[in-house]
């Protein structure tokens, strides 16, 4: 990977297409490895990478030169990937809720209300977690990514993922105590 000069960075920020193509060519392999744990398959990973480059181009002027361009691109990747995860979780939650509601409509209405309240409590408890802990829970528990994959996706150490998961599960357990009795 070649070093970028101040002139190169100014060209990138100005929207120089040749410079942008160069950056896409140079950085895409590393960024693809970063987005891969968030994706269902390689095609999905390429879609996420394309979305990241689109977003990076739109936001290129927000890179002010503090830190590295690669670090900034990783941050853009993380934002795109986590937004995609949130969209998929919401879509799955809506689909599951529809199936659940249809099934429960044929059963006891009291049981249906209790299940709905439980689902709402779980969602509320997840949303109350700090962002890092919520990201770890989503990647590890919902998408069943390994600790290593989650660490790579979040740009942190495996120990950080383990600690965040431990703290998140403890908080979720405390939030859900009323349901465990």
Q: What region, left, alpha or beta, does residue 88 occupy, with left being phi > 0 and alpha being psi -120 to 50 degrees?
A: alpha
Q: Could you say which of 30, 63, 80 is where a domain stops?
A: 80
Same domain, 76 and 130: no
Q: Domains in the chain: how many in total?
A: 2
Look-up: residue for tokens 């002139």? Answer: 7
Q: What is the mean pLDDT of residues 70-78?
A: 89
**Across 59-63, 92-96, 125-129, which has the greatest mean pLDDT?**
59-63
Is residue 29 one of the residues assigned to a domain?
Answer: yes
Burial of 157 (0-12, 13-18, 19+ CB in 10 A): exposed
Is residue 39 one of the residues assigned to a domain?
Answer: yes
Burial of 92 (0-12, 13-18, 19+ CB in 10 A): exposed
pLDDT at 131 over 90: no
Is residue 96 one of the residues assigned to a domain?
Answer: no
pLDDT of residue 50: 94
Distance CA 19, CA 16 (A): 5
Task: Report the CATH number at residue 17.
Answer: 1.10.1740.10
Q: What is the mean pLDDT of residues 56-76?
A: 87
Task: Report the CATH number at residue 130.
Answer: 1.10.10.10
Same domain, 121 and 75: no
Q: Which residues contact 89 (CB under 8 A, 6 or more apart)?
A: 138, 142
Distance CA 135, CA 152 (A): 12
pLDDT of residue 104: 52
Domain that holds residue 132: 107-180
pLDDT of residue 174: 83
Is residue 18 one of the residues assigned to a domain?
Answer: yes
pLDDT of residue 14: 92
Is residue 95 one of the residues assigned to a domain?
Answer: no
Burial of 172 (0-12, 13-18, 19+ CB in 10 A): middle
Q: What is the mean pLDDT of residues 97-109?
A: 54
Is residue 57 one of the residues assigned to a domain?
Answer: yes
Same domain, 67 and 120: no
What tens digit of pLDDT does each residue of 133-166 get?
Answer: 888 888 887 777 888 888 887 888 888 989 998 8
What tens digit of pLDDT does each residue of 11-46 get?
Answer: 999 999 999 999 999 999 999 988 888 888 889 899
pLDDT of residue 120: 75
Helices 109-128 and 69-105 sit at what angle, rounded to 10 degrees?
Answer: 170
Same domain, 11 and 57: yes
Is residue 90 one of the residues assigned to a domain?
Answer: no
Least confident among 10-19, 98-107, 110-119, 168-177: 98-107
Q: How many CA atoms lie within 13 A of 66 on its CB side?
A: 1
Is residue 91 one of the residues assigned to a domain?
Answer: no
pLDDT of residue 22: 94
Q: Is 100 helix (H, G, I), strand (E, B) or coil?
A: helix
């Amino acid at each position: 990977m070649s070093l970028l000069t101040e002139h190169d960075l100014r060209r990138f920020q100005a929207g120089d297409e040749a410079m942008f193509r160069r950056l896409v060519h140079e950085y895409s392999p590393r960024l693809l490895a970063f987005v891969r744990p968030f994706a269902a398959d390689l095609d999905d990973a390429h879609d996420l990478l394309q979305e990241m480059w689109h977003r990076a181009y739109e936001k290129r002027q927000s890179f002010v030169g503090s830190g590295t361009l690669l670090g900034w691109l990783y941050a853009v990747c993380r934002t795109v990937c986590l937004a995609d995860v949130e969209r998929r979780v919401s879509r799955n939650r809506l689909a599951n809720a529809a199936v659940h509601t249809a099934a429960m409509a044929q059963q006891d209405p009291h049981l249906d209300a209790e299940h709905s309240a439980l689902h709402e409590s779980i969602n509320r408890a997840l949303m109350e977690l700090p962002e890092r802990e919520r990201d770890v829970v989503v990647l590890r528990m919902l998408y069943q990514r390994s600790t290593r994959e989650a660490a790579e996706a979040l740009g942190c150490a495996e120990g950080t993922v383990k600690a965040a998961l431990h703290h998140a599960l403890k908080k979720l357990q405390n939030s859900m105590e009323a349901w465990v009795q």
